[in-house]
Amino acid sequence: MKLIIVLLVSIFGFLLFVEATEVKPCKVPSQWTANVYDRDDKAKYRSRAELTYDAVNRRIRKIGIEKIGEFADYVDSILLYNENIEYRYSYTTKKCQKSTLKNNWLGFDLPQNASYYGEQTIGLTGANDSSLVASVWGASIHTDGQNFELLSLLSKTNCVPITFYLDNDLHNYQAFFFNVNGKPLDSEAFAIRSECL
């Protein structure tokens, strides 16, 4: 009988400990490069590009193929959120367009109100070097005058982005990141092309 009571108290104590343990959102690296495939079918948008990400200075560069509606182009886009400017060079037309950004900085960081949904294994479970453990997070966010449901998968180790989803009635944006490199950014990573000056 004493053994059963001790066992029940232990189980109850463990459950209280697990319930009290709150998983806090991890911090995505502030500067990195990656290959990215992103799409928003509701907005008829797709791209496959090299991405340079700098959350410290709130800027993003994408070089690659972008398709909006039926129009596809090979572009070099630099989005400078602190300056509210986008430089967009078309390799097809050899012209650069400077414009005001249409959206606010969101970045790929988890919001503080993000909820932890658990862990998932990507790849083959139980085999050495054949899988990656991802933490899954979700949140409701408001940006650019719209409400979105966010779902983000990040590597459990080092909080490296794997996938990022934003969904509402107008958008279902998805980004998939490959070959993420967290080395310090090259000083020329955001150099503006001479055609844009």
Where would I find the beta strands (DSSP E) of the chain? Answer: 31-40, 45-54, 59-68, 71-80, 85-90, 95-100, 115-123, 131-143, 146-155, 161-167, 172-181
> Residue holding tokens 């969904």?
167
The model's pTM: 0.85
- Give the whole-angstrom CA distance, residue 166 versus residue 110: 12
Question: 64-95: per-residue pLDDT in tens?
Answer: 999 999 999 999 999 999 999 999 999 999 99
Residue with tokens 């078309």: 90
DSSP 8-state symbol, 182:
-
Return the structure tokens found at 15. 């459950």
pLDDT digit string, tens, across residues 97-109: 999 999 999 999 9
Identify the structural domains of the chain with CATH numbers, from first to last. 31-182 (2.50.20.20)
